[in-house]
């Protein structure tokens, strides 16, 4: 059986927007946990030039079946036209912690 667990990474330009999105994801049972780290300094290419911004990194624990809904909620709360939304598979973890992630999201799809 394929491992269903994901870590989804996104960044926001403010702590307030990060907190609003984290709460919405948790309340909707789309994530078991959202960790917010920041501010961080991001350096990136945008519209042909190198930019720099202060951002807050969100580390979201969820499952693959919820990715599209997590993505939709991030986009609905995000001021960027192209927000960072990347999902990384969790290839290993303690049985208890992975079970806790599974319990923290609504598996009713």
pLDDT at 107: 67
For 86, the enclosing helix (H) or strand (E) is strand 86-89
Summarised one tens digit per residue, pLDDT across range 58-104 is 999 999 999 999 999 999 999 999 999 999 999 999 999 999 999 99
Domain 5-104, classified CATH 3.30.70.120, yes or no: yes
pLDDT band per the 50, 70, 90 thresholds, residue 7: very high
Judged on CB neighbours under 10 Å (0-12, 13-18, 19+), 74 is buried
């Amino acid at each position: 059986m394929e491992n269903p667990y994901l870590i989804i990474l996104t960044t926001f330009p403010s702590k307030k927007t990060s907190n609003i999105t984290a709460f919405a994801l948790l309340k909707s049972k789309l994530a078991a946990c959202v960790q917010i780290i920041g501010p961080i300094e991001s350096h990136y290419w945008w519209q042909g030039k190198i930019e720099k911004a202060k951002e807050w990194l969100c580390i979201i624990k969820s499952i693959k079946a919820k990715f599209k809904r997590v993505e939709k909620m991030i986009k609905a709360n995000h001021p960027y036209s192209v927000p960072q939304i990347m999902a990384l598979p969790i290839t290993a973890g303690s049985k208890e912690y992975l079970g806790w992630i599974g319990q923290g999201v609504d598996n009713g799809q």
